Amino acid sequence: MVQKLKLEKDTIISVKNVNLAFGEVKALCNISLDVFEGEFLGICGPNGSGKSTLLKTMVGLLKPDNGEIEFIKRDHKKFQVAYVQQMREFDRNFPALVKDVVMMGRASHAGLFRRYGPKDHEIVDQVMKLVGVDHLKDKPQGQLSGGQFQKVAIARAMAQEPDVIILDEATSALDYRASAQFMNLLRKLNQEKNITIIAVHHDLSMLKEYATRIICMDRTVEWTGAPEDAKLDETLLRLFFYNSPH
């Protein structure tokens, strides 16, 4: 029995019967899904299918009308979820040095009014090296390229020492090479640090290459399975070409 339980995948986030409407617009209709520890979950769906709304609900920025989202952590530590939003120009214009942006990731550990200590600085140095932005640390973030900026966003997320990183179209501003580099970085964090990744991504070929499981959604979960499953293409065709837009 113990053996069997160990073989089963551990759920770390459980979404149950979640509904959310913006006025007349039903963005999420009875969404239920489990996120398993250590997976690289790719989420796809047409424009307006509720992907960003789902992520925002998962990180607590939006409250569902009903249903529940549970975070399951076994060792009583605080559950850390890092959320990387879509790149926005005004974030780049915020006048801060790269090292200070990454330090902001430590805020949830430092607590209110506590100064950053040696451990915080050590972690910031470590993650900047890991992500490959160490050489940029004294640059104002406004001077970075799109790809460098996204890497800094990941370094900031990593400084939180997260269990899960949730990304919304994190490579949309990047060219193919920079996107692939970025996805490789996510894969490395997933495989070497056992960080669970949840990534909404518009590039389906990229998702198929990097995700260990894919969810197709259109306001509700339409399909989930392995990237190599033949049913995936069938579902994508139906969602992207045959369903009427809303």
Ligand X SMILES: Nc1ncnc2c1ncn2[C@@H]1O[C@H](COP(=O)(O)OP(=O)(O)OP(=O)(O)O)[C@@H](O)[C@H]1O
CB of 202 to Mg ion, least distance (A): 9
Terminal CA-CA length for the chain = 47
Residue 242 interface partner, choices Mg ion, ligand X, none, CB cut-off 5-8 Å depending on type = none
Choose the stretch contacting ligand X; rule: CB under 6 A; options: 29-37, 51-59, 122-130, 150-158. Answer: 51-59
Q: Please state, in angstroms and rounded to a whole number, the distance separating the CA atoms of residues 230 and 62.
A: 34
CB of 200 to ligand X, least distance (A): 7
Phi and psi torsions of 22, nearest 5°: -105, 95
- The single-letter DSSP state of residue 151 is H
Does residue number 3 form part of the binding site for ligand X (CB under 6 A)? Answer: no
Structure tokens at 83: 């959320």
Choose the stretch contacting ligand X; rule: CB under 6 A; options: 41-49, 136-144, 147-155, 207-215. Answer: 41-49
Choose the stretch contacting ligand X; rule: CB under 6 A; options: 31-39, 40-48, 96-104, 180-188. Answer: 40-48
Residue 140 interface partner, choices Mg ion, ligand X, none, CB cut-off 5-8 Å depending on type = none
Element (H, E) at 230: helix 230-237
Residue 53 interface partner, choices ligand X, Mg ion, none, CB cut-off 5-8 Å depending on type = ligand X
Q: Please state, in angstroms and rounded to a whole number, the distance separating the CA atoms of residues 45 and 215.
A: 8
CB of 49 to Mg ion, least distance (A): 9
* 141 Cβ contact list (under 8 Å, min separation 6): 92, 94, 96, 97, 98, 101, 149, 152
| Positions in the binding site for ligand X (CB under 6 A) | 22, 25, 27, 45, 47-53
